[in-house]
Each structure stands twice: as structure tokens, then as C-alpha cells.
Amino acid sequence: MQQVVSPDETKLIEALRAGDEQAFRELVRMYNSSLLRVARIYVPTQTLAEEVVAETWLAVLEGIDRFEGRSTLKTWIFRILANRAKTRAVRERRTLPLSAFEPERIQEPALAADRFRDWDDPRWPGHWAVPPTPWPEDRLLAGETRDKLAEAIDALPGTQRAVISLRDIEGWSAEEVCNALGLTETNQRVLLHRARAKVRKALEDYVK
Amino acid sequence: MTTAEALSCQELTELVTDYLEGALSPAERAHFEKHLAECGNCEIYLEQIRVTIRLTGTLAPDQLTPEAEEALLHAFRGWKR
């Protein structure tokens, strides 16, 4: 059986099994915010997400002695979370729309169609009608711009919000996001694409 | 469009993420970069996506409140016993 657990994780796992509180604190600080972001895909409120994450940590502690290292510790923790969150979502009678994880079923362009010339335009079909204009650097650097950015991310549909947060805030790789959320590579990219396009649009509307 | 393979600006905006993720085929990549070299507007668009990614990266991950962290550590101590 292939061991995929890194030396760092192995040390962490041993420390947890030995009851090292500092190791647990480290793990919590490493993953708690990402766990909350993923939980929010499944459950409707932040409070419920926090409960699901707390349950997940208990399940991690209860299961750590049986963890066999067939996946990374990170993947294992996020699988526990997904199972807990799904169970909770069912209990809360909230069913996810199928499309949440299969984004290509819905057409959703990066930009509104009226930003481009019509497809039957005699000279420049599909070229810019309303092109983007350069952003003033000083507006971008203002603290308020980052508040707008955070608002735009909060306003995204759950799965898009989780993908962009994990990729662009938490710095996860595409593969890690696919594993944690059970997404295909293509769907991960589509969700990231839509999320980034909407956040760019929000910045454009704000700085112009 | 001058050739059958040429990308329109609209098509390019839909390929931006595949481009940045390295998911385009070599031929698609070549078309993408050819368009980009000739189109200042699309160059601006791509740069704005890059800026968006960079700015998003400056948002701090949510921190646990000390109370929430303490509650988890309390659970940990209960588990250890």
C-alpha cells in the first residue's frame, strides 16, 4: 500500500496520537478556516458550518488511531468534513442543486454578452464592444478595495466561493481542491473561472 | 476573424483560466498567445484577472476567535483522558 503522508504530517499524526495539545492547535490553525469554507457549501448558515467543523475535529481525534495513511491527512480530514456536512444538510432538509458540483450543465459566461459585438458583426464578430479599461493603481491599493473584494467573494454561490477561497486565499493546488470537494479537474476549473470572472467584474465596477 | 482558428475576444475571455492553469493544448495556447499579442484589450483583461488573483491572495484566511480555539482545545483535553 502506498504511503502518501508527508514526513511533516507523519510527525503531526504521531504527536496527536501521543496527545500533544500543541500539535492539535497547529492542525486547527492550519485547516479550520478552510474547513469552514467547505462546510458552507453544504449547510446554509455560518453557525451550522461551525457546528459541522467542531464535529469534524472530534471525529478526527476519534479516528486518528485508525488513520492508515492511504490518503494525506489533509484529504482524510476533508473527507470526514464532507460526510458530516452532507449528513447535516440532509437533517436540515437542504438538498443541494445538482448543478452545484456540475457547473457545465449551466451556461454562465465570464462577461455579459453586451460587452462583445454580435456574432453576425460584419467585421469584428465576438470582439470587444465595451473593452476593459486599465485600473487606477491607487484605487486598487486602498483598503476599501479589499473589503469590496471580500464582499464579492462572499456573494458567490457556495461551491464557487469555496473553490476561489481555497485556491486564491488559502493557496491550495487544483489537485487538493479536487480531492477535498470531490470535483473533477474540469469542474474545478470552471468554478474557479466563474468565480474569478465575477470578482474581477466587482473590482471593475468599484474602481472605474 | 481572419482564419478559421482565430479566437474572438469573447472566446479568449472564456479560456483565460484554462490558460493560467496550463490546461490548454499546445495549439490552443498558440492561438491564445497570438490573439493576446495583437489585442491590447484582451491583454488588459488578462492582466486584470492576474491582479484579481493577486489581490485575493492578500485577503487573510479567517482566524479562529480565541474562544472558539479554546473550545476545541477543551474538547481535545476531554478526548485525551
Q: Which mean pLDDT values do the consecutive 10-residue runs of chain B (81 residues) have?
A: 69 97 96 96 97 93 84 87 65
What is the model's pTM?
A: 0.87
**Residue B40, number of CB atoms within 10 A of its CB:** 12
- Domain-by-domain residue ranges, chain A? 7-91, 99-207
pLDDT band for position A107 (50/70/90)?
confident
Is the CATH number of domain A99-207 1.10.10.10?
Answer: yes
Answer for the pair B42, B12: CB distance below 8 angstroms, yes or no.
yes
**How many CA atoms lie within 13 Å of A117's alpha carbon, on the beta-carbon side?**
13
For residues B44 and A2, the model is more confident at B44
Contact across the interface for B61 and A169, Cβ inside 8 Å: yes
pLDDT band for position A100 (50/70/90)?
low
- Provide the mean pLDDT of chain A: 90
Is the CATH number of domain B9-80 1.10.10?
Answer: yes
pLDDT at A104: 60
- Domain-by-domain residue ranges, chain B? 9-80
pLDDT at B4: 43
Question: pLDDT at residue A54 above 90?
Answer: yes
CB nearest to B21's CB, from A132, A149, A174: A174
Contact across the interface for A33 and B79, Cβ inside 8 Å: no
Contact across the interface for A24 and B73, Cβ inside 8 Å: yes
What fold is seen in the domain A7-91? Rna Polymerase Sigma Factor; Chain: A (1.10.1740)
Helix segments in A43-109, DSSP class H: 46-63, 73-91
For residue A89, give the C-alpha cell: 444538510
Q: Which helix (H) or strand (E) holds B36?
A: helix B26-38
pLDDT at A105: 62
pLDDT at A141: 84
Q: At what angle do helices A174-181 and A185-207 cross, to 10 degrees?
A: 110
